[in-house]
Structure 1
Amino acid sequence: MSIVLGANQYGKAETRVVRVDRDADGHRVTDLNVSVALSGDMTDTHLTGANDKVLPTDTQKNTVYAFARDGVGEIEDFALRLARHFVDSQPTIGRARVRVERYPWARLELAGRPAHHSFSRSGEGTRTATVTYDGQRAWVVSGITDLTVLNSTGSEFWGYVRDPFTTLRETRDRVLATAVDASWRHEAADDVDWGKSYATARRALLEAFGETHSRSLQQTLYAMGERVLTNCPEVVEVRLRLPNKHHFLVDLAPFGLDNPNEVFHAADRPYGLIEGTVLRDDAPPADPAW
């Protein structure tokens, strides 16, 4: 039996960078969290400690800052620029993956108009982009996390399997809430209007959630993925992770009160976790590591 080195990568995780564009009519804040992972033939480094093929992770961090100096733009474009730079400029790097999270800031409303340079963090969800580049092909996956949504009615859950440990009561009217973690893969890495695509996909997720009369969170998940694919022809695959943010009806009978489906306990854990993929049947192969 022999022992060999398996798959490996290295990089700089979670470089926080904030860029302020100081436009005359109002400043713009771009707040990013950038993670870089590089891979190549690192056998000597792992077996002997030789570093002649290693681009220091500190250099990767500095590259992120230097590229931000030229402007960020859409985060997919920023990640593509970085990934291509690392692979194309370094002969020892065969593959780069760059993940970018963008935190939303909105200008304050002061005296009925947008403030010039004052902001608040908005709750519209965190935009994400992950780019993988191997020197020939690039894969782009856009997404959103922490998009919390709730339907106060229009959701049911009944007809499920029962066994000796089942205590959950069936319901024909429940609160359905989740924090959407969605990612969607683009067919191509070029000639995409990333801003428009993101806005369309986000709107499709919200509309499908709000318009679907749900008999299970799985049904809602499929409806959300299907709506993105229907509205975004450039997208070929959608992956969704939906934690069920349970709202349990509080028993007020001990206090001599009824509860006509109005007062709930919001439980943070444990929670149901529903995950799934919706894709076109002719979707091209994905990056194997996605």
Structure 2
Amino acid sequence: MAEKAKIIDGLKFEQRHGKQRVRVGRVWKDSTGFCHFVEWSVGISLLSDCNRSYTHDDNSDIVATDTMKNTVYAKAKESKEQITAEDFAILLAKHFTSYYKQVTTAIVKIVEKPWKRVNIDGRPHKHGFELGSEKHVAEAVLSKSGALNLSSSIEGLSLLKTTKSGFEGYVRDQYTLLPETRERMLATELAATWRFHVISSVSLRMPNLHFIPVNLSSIQNPNLVKFADDVYLPTDEPHGSIEASLSRLHSRM
């Protein structure tokens, strides 16, 4: 969703401004002392009618980026009940598009750090957390008319199988050197995105994280390291990349 371009002196002009990487941590505690915690990095971009700040040295329509930062903390404080990253992104976007008449569209992107509750003796700890791997990302694009594009994603979800994977039957030509195999390590760092409202879709990105068999030999010791599905060299450069997406022809939402 983009702002309609302005024409100034026969030239197409587009602009936006905002605040990025506003870090905020929020704790919600119930009457028993059980805590819920999130850590977010919030990015805000505002599309607005403030061309005079560029053409006439007039900042009267500019929302200061420091104000945007402070708004994040104020809205986090106002959220008395636990709230998702998606709902907080929408909350901020609604504020900017409704509070400021000159703002035509607000883009709010939130990256949630993967804090997970610690289990002690098989029971969830009331206020202890550990850092996971994958990140949760939410982005809301809201126009003053109320049109909303919302997407969520997971990034950096590392997955691995130590056996029962193969790669064979692929195209072979004069440049193909890779031997076929029915037994290998399989690993990836999954990124998944799903979109709501206008176009419902799910997209996956699955780069290969390669684990190359290690064989080492010398004249003195020809079997210094003889690979037997056990010792690997981990590498991700260069790596194969697999992407797929699935979307409805007509959204039902």
TM-score, normalising length from structure 2? 0.83
Equivalence for 2:67 = 59
Q: Is the 8 A contact 1:13 1:36 kept in 2?
A: yes
Q: Which has the higher strand share?
A: 2
2:28 corresponding residue in structure 1: 21
**Unaligned runs of at least 5 residues, structure 2:** 1-8
Aligned to 2:4: none
Quick one: which of 216, 240, 244 aligns to 1:272?
A: 240
Task: Name the SS for the 1:130 alignment partner.
Answer: strand
Asked if 2 retains the 8 angstrom alpha-carbon contact of 1:5 and 1:43, the reply is: no
| Correspondence 1:39 to 2:47 | yes
Q: Give the aligned length.
A: 237
1:66-215 equivalences in 2 (<5 Å)? 66-71=74-79, 72-110=82-120, 113-123=123-133, 125-135=134-144, 136-187=146-197
Q: Report the CA distance between 1:82 and its aligned residue.
A: 0.7
Aligned to 2:26, the other structure's residue is in SS state: strand
Structure 1 residues 49 and 174, CA gap change in structure 2 (3 angstroms): farther
**Aligned mate of 2:19, from 12, 30, 54:** 12
Secondary structure (helix, strand or coil) at the match of 1:13 reads strand
Equivalent of 1:30 in 34, 38, 57? 38
Say whether the 8 Å CA contact 1:237–1:280 is kept in structure 2. Answer: yes
Task: Kindly provide the amino acid, as one letter, of the partner of residue 263 in structure 1.
Answer: V
| Secondary structure of the structure 2 residue equivalent to 1:180 | strand
Would the alpha carbon gap of residues 26 and 55 (structure 1) be closer, same or farther in structure 2, given more than 3 Å must change? same
- Please give the alpha-carbon distance, in whole angstroms, between the structure 2 residues aligned to 1:185 and 1:244: 24
Is 2:246 the partner of 1:238? no
Instruction: Identify unmatched segments of 5+ residues in structure 1.
Output: 189-234, 286-290
Contact 1:147 1:179 in 2 (8 A): yes
CA RMSD, Structure 1 to Structure 2 (Å):
2.5
Amino acid at match of 1:268: D
Offset at residue 138 of structure 1 (A): 0.7
> Distance between the aligned counterparts of 1:140 and 1:85, measured in 2?
16
- Partner of 1:247 in structure 2? 211
Q: Which has the higher helix share?
A: 1
CA contact (8 A) 2:148 2:197 kept: no
**Does the aligned pair in 1 maintain the 2:208–2:236 contact within 8 Å?**
no
TM-aligned CA distance change 1:3 to 1:277, over 3 Å: farther
Structure whose CA Rg is larger: 2
Distance across 1 between alignment mates of 2:249 and 2:122: 49
Identity of aligned residues (%): 33
**Structure 1 residue 59 displacement after superposition:** 0.7
